[in-house]
Structure 1
Amino acid sequence: MSETTTRRLWVAHGPVGVVGTIRQDAEGFAVHMTGKDERLGVYPTMEIAKNALHAHMKPGSDRPEFREH
């Protein structure tokens, strides 16, 4: 029997383009900011991951649009 791991990816789009991504895997929801090598963190829910990504954008930035790929 083989084990299948489902992975999902959302791309966060702001007014200036892609600002980050969220990947779901067995660990949780991993947030990566565009231009950074290391991930920001892994969060237990998608909503918490979205909030973390938004919190690391420039102050006053509108919440990005998240599109699944």
Structure 2
Amino acid sequence: MTEAKTRRLWVAYGPVGAVGKIQTDEDGYLVQMAGADEPLGTYPTLEIAKSALQAHLKPGADRPEFREH
């Protein structure tokens, strides 16, 4: 029997467009900034992943809008 795993993806949008993404993987929520070659890391919950992504934006930037795709 095979087990299907559903992957989920959220794109973070700021005033100028996409600034990063969060996707599920086997260990949690993988965060990657737009244009980056490597992910920032994997976090245990979606809320922590969103906070990590926001923490890597320029100081004073508004919280991005996260849209699930």
Structure 2, unmatched stretches of 5+, are none
Residue 3 of structure 1 and its aligned partner are, at CA, apart by: 1.3
Contact 1:10–1:23 under 8 Å retained in 2: yes
Query: What is the Cα-based RMSD across aligned positions, in Å?
Result: 0.5
Residue by residue over 1:23-59, the C-alpha shift from the partner in whole angstroms, topping out at 9 and shown as x without a partner, is: 0122100000001000000000000000000000000
Aligned equivalents of 1:17, 1:50: Cα separation in 2: 16
Q: Report the number of matched residues.
A: 69
What's the counterpart of residue 47 of structure 1?
47
Quote the sequence identity (%): 68
Structure 1, unmatched stretches of 5+, are none
Query: Deviating runs (4+, > 3 A) in structure 1?
Result: none
